[in-house]
Chains A and B, each alone.
Chain A
């Protein structure tokens, strides 16, 4: 037998600890993913307007030098 009462009494604290952790980590991952998506769309947008990086432009011209 344990000195302290079992899960029944402290279940709330345990679930809260796991819940808050899951929430914060999910939020962090979500934020990272949204940020990644946003930068991707910005980059695609720029490329669609014909603005691209020197290396990718060289590649499209067929020059293998850029790699």
Chain B
């Protein structure tokens, strides 16, 4: 009986989550679309061109939010990992697992848009600039997490192994950032053009903030959707397992 109650409890929270997600998702999706359209309109038709960077400043409106979401994605994973290690909460596992590919995509986009911005500004697609390099290493951390999830079949074990790795990674991120900064100042005393100008004018800051809000909402829309799918996937797997068990039992009874 207690075991049955235990399984019920484990299912109950995901069930409540499914309900909550279904209520929130439509609203959040609408909000995302609204913010994104506003942000794009402001970015393309209202924001002036930068006195230094011309129209390429438009890339900043997506590049900066992507870079910010790359870091936020890893923070979400870290917090979820702490939750899954300490409280063994199944939803924390689900949250950590599904945030990884989304965060990795945003990190990749931050790198790609950064290099597309770098070509007209610096003359090359890639510079071993401190920020770019540490974002690249962050991307590798994401890849490692996803690979570990893939490699371990049993979801609860994979979840805890990935949680350990995620926390180790988050302890390491400041050290990596610090060492890359150090390395960069050693090798490039004449630093590349600084992107943060004197001060950002509000006509550029407003669209930037709106775009950042839009992509943050988009992150959570995708995260909620992916989490819902992951809960379904685990239900399907559990049902397939019990089905196999039941079939085995009936066959055993017949024999």
A25 to B254, CA, bound (A): 53
Interface membership of B133, Cβ < 8 A: no
Q: Nearest chain B CB to A60's CB is how many angstroms away?
A: 15
Beta-carbon contact of B120 and A13 below 8 Å: yes
Task: Assess whether B55 is in contact with A7, with CB atoms less than 8 Å apart.
Answer: yes
Q: Does B97 contact A (CB under 8 A)?
A: no
Is the CB–CB distance between A39 and B54 below 8 Å? no
- The CA of A5 and the CA of B236, in the complex, are separated in Å by 57
In this complex, the interface size class of chain A, counting residues with CB under 8 Å from chain B, is: 35 or more
Which chain B residues border A66 with CB–CB below 8 Å?
8
Q: Is the CB of A32 within 8 A of B222?
A: yes
Beta-carbon contacts under 8 Å, A7-45 to B = 7, 9-11, 13-14, 16-18, 20-21, 24-25, 28-29, 32-33, 35-36, 39-40, 42-43
What's the nearest-Cβ distance from chain B to residue A52, in Å? 7
Type the 1/0 row for B228-242, where 1 means its CB is closer than 8 Å to any CB of A.
Answer: 110011011001101
In the complex, which of the residues A17, A33, A55 has the most CB atoms of chain B within 10 Å of its own CB atom? A17
Residue B184 at the chain A interface, CB threshold 8 Å: no
| Structural contact, A53 and B105, CB atoms closer than 8 A | no
Q: Could you tell me if A17 and B117 are in contact, using CB atoms closer than 8 angstroms?
A: yes
Q: Which residues in B have some Cβ–Cβ distance to A below 8 Å?
A: 4, 7-8, 11, 15, 49-56, 58-59, 62-63, 66, 101-102, 105, 108-109, 112-113, 116-117, 119-120, 218, 222, 225-226, 228-229, 232-233, 235-236, 239-240, 242-243
